[in-house]
Amino acid sequence: MSVRAGYGAGLLLAGMLALAGCGRSSSDLQMTRAVPDAVLDTVPTVVADAGPETGVETPADAGARVAPRTRASTVGVMPPDILTPASRLSLPFVAVRPRSEPPYSNDQVLRNFLSIALRAEAADDVGPDGGIAISKWRDPIRYRLVGARTRDRVQIAALSDHLAALTGLDIREAGEVERYNMDIRFIPPEGRAAEMRELLATQWLGPRVARLAEGWRDYEIDRCFALTTRDPTTGVTGTAHVFIKDELPLVWRETCIIEEMAQSLGLLNDDPRANPSIFNDDGAYQALTTHDELLLRILYDPRIRSGMHRDSVQPLAERIVAELRPAGVSR
C-alpha cells in the first residue's frame, strides 16, 4: 500500500504498506528521528505497501521447517535467459526452498508490472487515475537493523546481495558511524504503541498511511509494513523504513523481510491477479518468485526512470519484457 504526504519544504513522504503473508507489511516510523540529515534536507515522497494477507495463522513453532502453502517458491532461482548461473543465489531462508510455479506469459508480466510499480496500496497523493509515478533508488542503500537476531542479520545480508544482483544497486548494512537510508526494525508487542505514537505524531503522515500504521499496531494479522520516501520532483527514493512484529513465527518473519525489502525498492502495490507472486495478498508465496524477480529487473532497467507515468512506462516495459523473455512464457 502506498501513501504520500508532504512534510518539510521539499520532500514528500510516500508510505508503502506491504502485506506479505506475514500479515500487512509496514514501514518504519524512524523517518523523523532516524533519517540522515542529508535526506531530511530534501523532503521525500512516501509510498506505503502491504504484503499478502491470508488471515490464516501458521504454527508458532519458531523452528518450523515447512512453509504453510506448498506453492511457495524460491528466491534466487531464475530462468536461464534472466540470470547467469553465478547470479542464481542460494539464500538462507526456510521460506525460499524451491517450489514449482505455474507458467505465465509476457502479457501477464507486463500487466502485473504496471499494476505493482505504478500503484500503491495506500497513497494520499495519487493521480486522477489512482496511479503513482515510478519510484526507484539512485544512491547506494545502507540499512540499519534494530532488534534483529543473528539469523535475521545473516538473511538480510544474503537477500541484499540477491536484490543487488537483480537491480544493480549497492545494498549493504551501514557501518557504526555510517549514515543509513533504510531502517529495518523488529518491534515486540510492548514497544508497538510507543513506535506508532511517535509515527502518528509526525506532520508528514497522511490519513491513509496513518490508518495502516494504526492497523499494524492494533491487529494481529497485520504483521509488517514499510514506508518509503521520495523526492516529489524526480521520484527518486530517498529512504525506507520497515516495521516487523518481533514475535512472528519463523516463516512469516522471513516473508516480511523478503517482501518488505523488495517492495521498498519500488514495487509498491499488491495485486490479487499477480501470480506467481509474493505481491499478492492471498499469501500463497512466502518468497520472491521468478515472476517477482522479473519485475525488479524491469523496474531497474535504465530505460525506466523515476518520475515516469504509465503512458511513458508501458511501451518501454513491453519492450524490456520481450527482451528478457524472448520465448514469451516461463520455463
Q: Model pTM?
A: 0.76
Q: What is the mean pLDDT of the chain?
A: 75
More confident residue, 311 or 91: 311
* Range 253-262 average pLDDT: 95
The pLDDT of residue 18 is above 60: no
The residues, ordered by sequence, that sit 6+ positions from 86 with a Cβ below 8 Å of its Cβ are: none
How far apart CA 67 and CA 86 sit, in angstroms, is 27
Q: Beta strands 236-245 and 182-187: pairing type?
A: parallel
* Range 62-66 average pLDDT: 35
Q: Which backbone phi and psi does 184 adopt, to 5 degrees?
A: -115, 120
The pLDDT of residue 122 is above 80: no
* Range 68-95 average pLDDT: 40
Q: What is the pLDDT of residue 188?
A: 96
More confident residue, 128 or 37: 128
Q: What is the pLDDT of residue 324?
A: 97
Chain-centre distance of CA 199, in angstroms? 19
The pLDDT of residue 229 is above 80: yes
How far apart CA 236 and CA 265 sit, in angstroms, is 10
- Quote the crossing angle between the two packed helices 207-218 and 189-200, to the nearest 10°: 170
139 pLDDT tier (thresholds 50, 70, 90): very high
Q: What is the pLDDT of residue 124?
A: 59
Q: What is the pLDDT of residue 87?
A: 40
Least confident of 11-15, 141-145, 259-263: 11-15
List pLDDT tens digits, range 29-57.
233 233 333 332 333 345 555 544 433 33
The pLDDT of residue 114 is above 50: yes
Any idea what DSSP says for residue 172?
E
| % of the chain beyond a pLDDT of 90 | 51
121 pLDDT tier (thresholds 50, 70, 90): confident
23 pLDDT tier (thresholds 50, 70, 90): low
Chain-centre distance of CA 25, in angstroms? 8
The pLDDT of residue 113 is above 50: yes
